[in-house]
Amino acid sequence: MSTEPRNIRDVVRFLRQRGELGLDEIFLERLTREQVLRAANEARAQASGEASGEAGGEASGEARRGAQAERRGVPARAPDHGTARADASQPDDVEISAAQVDIAGLEYSELASVADCCQRCRLAEGRTRVVFSDGNPQARLIVVGEAPGANEDRTGLPFVGQAGKFLDLLLASVDLSRKDSVYICNVLKCRPPGNRDPMADEIELCSPFLKRQIALVAPEVILAVGTFAAQLLTGTNRPLGKLRGSVYTYEDVPLVVTYHPAALLRNAGWTRSTWDDFQLLRQVMDGS
């Protein structure tokens, strides 16, 4: 007698029915990732067998998938960066909800793909693009910001506006660059409406992505910019002004905190303190 939570053949039948109805996203509760992939493979095998005996007149699978992607608003991505699916062995009709995936076990391309179709919190409803990362995934330094703004939401890249240019200048002042030595991401992957502060439940739901990003990149040092990033990674609720100036650790990785570049554009008086923080960062990276 099988101990699986559902009969796999029933799941296969369910997947096929969903595909025939043209329905996009599904939620498979109480199934492990391996069981989902097994069911998906069986559904694909059955669908291929039936298709070989059918006459033409149907739209190609590629065109149908393109139409479905347009309806979902999912941008096209290169295959090596994922296709908003948990595994390439799944049928093209099936998406796995981020809420049902063990994020801690994903590889980098899988993590980016799951984030790309995430519906975990309310921010998914109003986003234009998921803002996953920029920079080098083999970087020595990870910069963690708070949340995307309007420019980031439009482009899908973090720190691309005036604050991003300021960050690039600060990094260059200590011989660092997002092109080769820095990886940049945010606590939240979707823009809060009106650029409001992140809410506690949004941080809780989105932070597993950040935790896995840090684990996969395995940086030498982390730089948290802004209150929400600093408080999350230090595990305290102290004001940023009292957190900065010290070296912390996150998962055994040295952590430095400083002001967000956007805050510096509004408060020029914090520039000197931020300069000092970047000198501290350079010292930590140099091992001194």
Q: Read off the tokens for 284.
A: 């930590």
**SS3 category, 115:** helix
So what's the pLDDT on residue 197? 96
| DSSP one-letter string for 36-60 | HHHHHHHHHHHHHHHHTTS-S-SPP
Name the pLDDT band for 16 (thresholds 50, 70, 90).
low
So what's the pLDDT on residue 89? 37
Per cent of the chain over pLDDT 70 is 65
**Range(s) for CATH 3.40.470.10 in the chain?**
126-286
Q: What are phi and psi of 225, to 5 degrees?
A: -115, 120
So what's the pLDDT on residue 40? 52
Q: Comparing 89-93, 165-169, 240-244, which segment has the lowest mean pLDDT?
A: 89-93
Q: Comparing 60-69, 74-83, 206-215, 229-238, which segment has the lowest mean pLDDT?
A: 74-83
**Separation CA 107–CA 113 (nearest Å):** 10
So what's the pLDDT on residue 101? 83
For residues 23, 29, 34, 38, the Cα torsion angle rounded to the nearest 10 degrees is: -40
Q: By the 8 A CB rule, do 181 and 141 touch?
A: yes
Residue 232 has pLDDT above 80, yes or no: yes
**Separation CA 114–CA 213 (nearest Å):** 12
pTM above 0.75, yes or no: no
Higher per-residue confidence, 210 vs 77? 210
Strands 134-135 and 182-186: antiparallel
Residues 113-167: tens digit of each pLDDT:
999 999 999 999 999 999 999 999 999 999 999 999 999 999 999 999 999 999 9
**Separation CA 224–CA 244 (nearest Å):** 10
Q: By the 8 A CB rule, do 147 and 192 touch?
A: yes
Residues 37-65: tens digit of each pLDDT:
555 555 555 544 544 444 444 444 344 33
Cα 163–Cα 153–Cα 267 angle in degrees, nearest 5: 25
Higher per-residue confidence, 72 vs 35? 35
Q: By the 8 A CB rule, do 136 and 216 touch?
A: no
What mean pLDDT do residues 76-100 have?
Answer: 42
Higher per-residue confidence, 73 vs 37? 37
Q: Read off the tokens for 246.
A: 């010290």
Cβ contacts of 175-181, under 8 Å, gap ≥ 24: 175/282, 176/140, 176/141, 178/134, 178/135, 178/136, 178/143, 179/135, 179/136, 180/136, 180/139, 181/136, 181/139, 181/140, 181/141
Give the gyration radius of the chain's Cα atoms: 22
The residues with which 143 forms a beta bridge, in sequence order, are 184, 223
- CATH number 3.40.470.10 given to 126-286: yes
What mean pLDDT do residues 216-225 have?
Answer: 98
Q: Comparing 5-19, 158-172, 218-232, which segment has the lowest mean pLDDT?
A: 5-19
What mean pLDDT do residues 265-278 have?
Answer: 96
Q: By the 8 A CB rule, do 142 and 256 touch?
A: no
What is the residue-averaged pLDDT of the chain?
Answer: 79
